[in-house]
Amino acid sequence: MPQPALDTSVCPLCGQGNQCAVAAGQAADTCWCMSAQLSAAALAAVPDALRGRACICPTCGAAATQSTDPQPPGAPI
Ligand SMILES: [Zn+2]
C-alpha cells in the first residue's frame, strides 16, 4: 500500500501550518517549540505514523496545556 505524502510543515492534529523551523529549512533551535511548553496530551494525540516526523502547531500545543481545566474545550465561560 503506497504511503501518502508526508507534509512535515502541517500539524497532524488540525491540518494547519505548524510553523516548524526545521520544515521551513531553518535551524531547529529557531523553532517556536524550543521556547514553548508542549503538553504530553497533544503529543500523544499525534498519530503513530506521524509521531516524531511532523510537528504539531503552536495552537494545538498550547491548547492542550489547558487540558487540566475541568471545562471541556469550547465550553461557554
Ligand atoms: Zn495544530
Burial of 42 (0-12, 13-18, 19+ CB in 10 A): buried
Instruction: Express the helix, strand and coil content of the chain in percent, nearest 5 each.
Output: 25, 5, 70
CB atoms within 10 A of CB 11: 23
For 13-19, what is the mean pLDDT? 94
27-67 pLDDT, tens digit each: 999 999 898 888 888 889 999 999 988 999 999 998 644 54
pLDDT at 71 over 70: no
Measured in Å, residue 76 CA sits from the centre of ligand 1 at 22
Question: Which residue ranges make up each domain of the chain?
Answer: 15-63
pLDDT at 24 over 60: yes
Question: What per-residue confidence (pLDDT) applies to 16?
Answer: 94
Measured in Å, residue 16 CA sits from the centre of ligand 1 at 6
Task: Please report which confidence band the pLDDT of residue 9 belongs to, taking 50, 70 and 90 as the band edges.
Answer: very high
Regarding pTM above 0.75, the answer is: no
Measured in Å, residue 41 CA sits from the centre of ligand 1 at 13
Measured in Å, residue 17 CA sits from the centre of ligand 1 at 7
In DSSP terms, which residues pair with 17 in a beta bridge? 10
Q: Report how far residue 70's alpha carbon sits from residue 54's, in angstroms, rounded to the nearest whole number.
A: 29
